[in-house]
Amino acid sequence: MYKEFKTAGNCRRHEISHHEQPDVEYTCKFCGKNFTVYGISHHELKCHKNPDRLMTEKQLLGFKKKPTAPVPGYCTFCGKECKNKNSLSNHERLCKLNPNKDALTAHKSGFSIWLEAHPGRSLTSLQKDSKESHTRSRATLSARYKAGELVPHQKGKARTAEEKAKISAALKANPNGGGLRKNSGRGKKGWYKGIYCDSTYELAYVAYNIDHGVVFNRCPKTVCYEYQYKNQSHKYYPDFMLEDGSLVEVKGYHNEVVDLKIASVTDRPINVLYEKDLEFAFSYIKETYGVKKIEELYKMENELRAAS
């Protein structure tokens, strides 16, 4: 059977000290083992029978003792076996046969004290009372709102003449304040070859039309339509107008308001383009300009403008 070593260096050291130069051997003066000239001096320094041997820090400090298994115990009142002293102490303190149990458990929670003061009550009944009290409070608040005693903050309140005057003065000083403005919203907006785009969908449509010679422009603000939504009147301005006067609306989503806007246009044809309808433009731009994102056209346009 061969001796095993953790590293190749240890194995080589063993071979040199024990197996090479077999005709030249030296005997350890402490344990009697034979070594070569290479290994005898190293061995004698650490020989286990050498009283003055070199010891490692771990040997000097001693090995840590392995944790002993917990000593089981038995309750002095009921005889129940517990796995350790802590478990035994806790059990004996609360054991049903312990005559001093009430004295040891004198501390009680506030809920326990409330239950003792209200015999026949339980946690379920307390929760029921809380729910009924909450319902009564809501009914009281609702009645006070209806009677006009309470008015929700800025809900249904008519502005005073002073408040109206302040708002009017602020809007006159800053005409761009309030309302829907350019560069507001979630779309990535910008200018591309002299045409303003409210989103990347519009940018794709604009770039494709310019490259293919389609005559179009932003729809003028004079072309406006009105529609009703939630009993209120709103204005709708289409996105683009083609050479023949027809309109184009570019949308990234569809909802009830979009249908109302399109239905308000009755004097000319209008075409609504959604994401699936603009796939041809997306593919063309990515293949032609080599961009991963459509909005990179804004950056390219700015660089060309700066270079010129």
Q: What is the pLDDT of residues 204-234, one digit of tens each?
A: 999 999 999 999 999 998 999 999 998 899 9
User: What are the C-alpha distances in Å from 220 to residues 154, 223, 240?
Assistant: 37, 6, 8
CA distance 238 to 225: 9
Helices (H) and strands (E) in the chain, counts: 12, 12
Predicted local distance difference test score (pLDDT) of residue 180: 42
What's the pLDDT tens digit per position in 257-273? 999 999 999 999 999 99
Alpha helices per DSSP H over the chain: 8-18, 40-46, 57-61, 85-94, 101-104, 110-117, 123-147, 161-173, 200-211, 256-263, 279-289, 296-307
Residue 179: per-residue pLDDT: 47
The secondary structure of 89-102 as a DSSP string is HHHHHH-TT-TTHH
Who's near 284: CB < 8 A, 6+ residues apart?
208, 211
pTM of this prediction? 0.42
CA distance 144 to 104: 53
The order of strands in the sheet holding 270-273 is 216-218, 240-242, 247-250, 270-273
As a whole number of angstroms, the distance between CA 25 and CA 43 comes to: 13
The rounded distance, in Å, linking the Cα atoms of 279 and 205 is 10
How far is it, in rounded angstroms, from Cα 210 to Cα 178?
A: 34
Classify residue 203 by burial, with Cβ atoms within 10 Å: 0-12, 13-18, 19+.
buried
Output b/e per residue, 165-195; b: 16+ Cβ within 10 A.
Answer: eeeeeeeeeeeeeeeeeeeeeebbbbebeeb
Can you give the C-alpha Rg of the chain in angstroms? 46
How many Å apart are CA 105 and CA 92, to the nearest integer? 12
Task: Return the DSSP state at 264.
Answer: T
* pLDDT tens digits in sequence order for the chain, 308 residues long: 677 888 888 887 777 666 665 556 678 888 888 876 666 777 777 787 887 776 655 555 555 555 556 567 888 888 888 888 888 888 888 888 888 776 555 555 566 666 677 777 666 666 666 677 777 777 887 787 777 676 665 555 567 788 878 877 876 776 655 544 455 555 688 888 888 888 889 999 999 999 999 999 999 989 999 999 988 999 999 999 999 999 999 998 888 999 999 999 999 999 999 989 999 999 999 999 898 888 888 888 888 877 76
SS3 track for 54-72: CCCHHHHHCCCCCCCCCCC
pLDDT of residue 157: 59
pLDDT value of residue 162: 87
Give the integer Cα–Cα distance in Å for 176 and 282.
34
Structure tokens at 102: 């009430």
Q: In the structure encoding, which two tokens stand for residue 257, read together?
A: 């308001």
